[in-house]
Amino acid sequence: MIYQVVPNYVSERENIMIEARKALVIMAIEKTLLEVGRPTYHEVLSKLKKDHNCYISDCYENPEYLSNVLKELYGPSRLAIISSIQKYLAELSTQEDIANFIIKISE
């Protein structure tokens, strides 16, 4: 019984950590967009919904959606916004999922 609980506990803990990192990614995106301006934030939300039928929280799994929306708005200069998001996540960049997120959003 104890033998079975330990792996379940680890898995649950890992899930919590993934959710926490996901929340941090969302916060990094939101903070960066709000630093640019409130209408930018709302326009990105709107375009994500309209073009990809998704929300900011979905950008954790699909960073390319955010990248596309930023490209539509700011052209190649989206890279500066992406770079700001990366800076907020720098301390977590050793985590595999965050590293994947950073690679995908920069493409």
Amino acid identity of 98? I
In whole angstroms, give the CA distance from residue 70 to residue 79.
9
Residue 30 phi, psi dihedral angles, 5° rounding: -65, -45
Residue with smaller CB distance to another protein, 7 or 76: 76
- Closest CB 43 distance from another protein, rounded Å: 5
The distance of closest approach from Cβ of residue 48 to another protein in the complex, given in angstroms and rounded to an integer, is 11
Q: Which is nearer to another protein, 5 or 50 (CB)?
A: 50
Q: List residues near another protein by CB under 8 A.
A: 34-40, 42-43, 45-47, 49-50, 55-57, 71-81, 83-84
Whether the CB-CB separation of 21 and 95 falls below 8 Å is answered with: yes
